[in-house]
Structure 1
């Protein structure tokens, strides 16, 4: 059996931190070793425990989570980070990417998205332990890249789902990996109607190739945004 992955939760809202802890307990192979509500507390935990994975918010009382990512990279480079935050500023996302953050989950958090992220992380950790050398395909999969050969088995597409349109729509979603895409955006990008775009998107969800989240903006109603499921 694989070794349990130790997790540190860094979240200043104790209620949300407790949700993260409960979610983590539901995913096999992970255990929470501590919770920090400030950046300084997190530094102490990280230096003392050296957890394998940190679930990190961006907005902390004494520093930004992206600054903590820099600290982790300098002091405990073997520790990985998944950011769970409401932050959507380009600068924050860029710093997370450059800091080698494994995943970036936008609040409000849903369990399926959380579970998927942790399971993808666990699977990749196990892949890296299997051998001293990886095949090109295995290396590609570690960065969530897909080739046309990894596409949906379109020959079994149901009635009303055109294989070529399906492939085109899937590619549109994959190119919007980090920001996601709405049915309206996809309609403009692919040239199909909004209702057609939504039908294909929901079909891709049923095939477990993408997932949807309700994203809450500053004003107006939440929008349903679609994201690719990582390998």
Structure 2
């Protein structure tokens, strides 16, 4: 299948480890380019207003927001029926699934997400877009393929790569402390922190705070700058990206 167009993708996922792995995987597939990552509904709406992507990967359970609200925004406020949305979630209850379907979700993938399932969705999307772009009239077989060919896949086996299990936290980094630091940045957007000032916020040593800040920097969640004082050594200042 020859792919000539690049489909822009926005990822809405509050776990940056998963978001970055998703982005790398999607960018590695022909015909796709991730143009932005949002961690909450507000960031998602801002990105969607700017980029108008062809495809959105949308987590349902976002921090302080609901991914279904983003889905509704796309369909009602943007009135964008041509944006395909793939739900990424651990939610298995019928109410959430029915609501996602009623607002035209392209696919619904349960976490932990298998790479093979993700790639199947990307392949289906390419086929779907190419089929809709044809100038020829549709026959019933064509419509059946578009509406019913969901590319069913068995549950991932133990040998299948699962995104949630990739890149475990390194030694010396625990999720609770990491979430506390993320919350500090999120609640004080635009404020830069040193290792010392962050240590005061989270109640750890400066060395521990620096270790976590450097980890977030390596994950591309924050940025760092060096400031030179009048005396003493230069100091790194960390800021939410």
Report matched runs for 1:75-154 at 5 Å: 75=78, 76-144=80-148
Instruction: Determine which of 209, 212, 218 is the counterpart of 2:155.
Output: 212
Question: Which portions of structure 1, spanning 4 or more consecutive aligned residues, are displaced by more than 4 angstroms?
Answer: none
Instruction: Determine which of 35, 51, 60 is the counterpart of 1:33.
Output: 35
SS in 2 for 1:83: strand
The whole-number CA distance in structure 2 between the counterparts of 1:139 and 1:64 is 32
Distance 1:115 1:93, change over 3 A: same
The normalised TM-score by structure 1 is 0.63
The whole-number CA distance in structure 2 between the counterparts of 1:70 and 1:29 is 26
SS in 2 for 1:40: helix
Q: Deviations over 1:118-166 (max 9, x none)?
A: 1101101100001252111101100125xxxxxxxxxxxxxxxxxxxxx
Which residue in the other structure is 1:58 paired with?
Answer: 60
Equivalent pairs counted in the alignment come to: 154
Task: List runs of 5+ in structure 1 lacking aligned partners.
Answer: 146-176, 178-207, 216-231
CA RMSD of aligned residues (A): 1.9
SS in 1 for 2:156: strand
Instruction: Determine which of 62, 69, 72 is the counterpart of 2:71.
Output: 69
Whether contact under 8 Å (1:83, 1:104) holds in the other structure is yes
The whole-number CA distance in structure 2 between the counterparts of 1:88 and 1:73 is 22
Of stretches 123-132 and 38-47 in structure 1, the one that deviates more from structure 2 is 123-132
Which residue in the other structure is 1:11 paired with?
Answer: 13
The whole-number CA distance in structure 2 between the counterparts of 1:118 and 1:58 is 19
Q: Deviations over 1:153-205 (max 9, x none)?
A: xxxxxxxxxxxxxxxxxxxxxxxx8xxxxxxxxxxxxxxxxxxxxxxxxxxxx
Q: Deviations over 1:194-228 (max 9, x none)?
A: xxxxxxxxxxxxxx97433269xxxxxxxxxxxxx
**Greater Cα radius of gyration, structure 1 or 2:** 2
SS in 2 for 1:20: helix
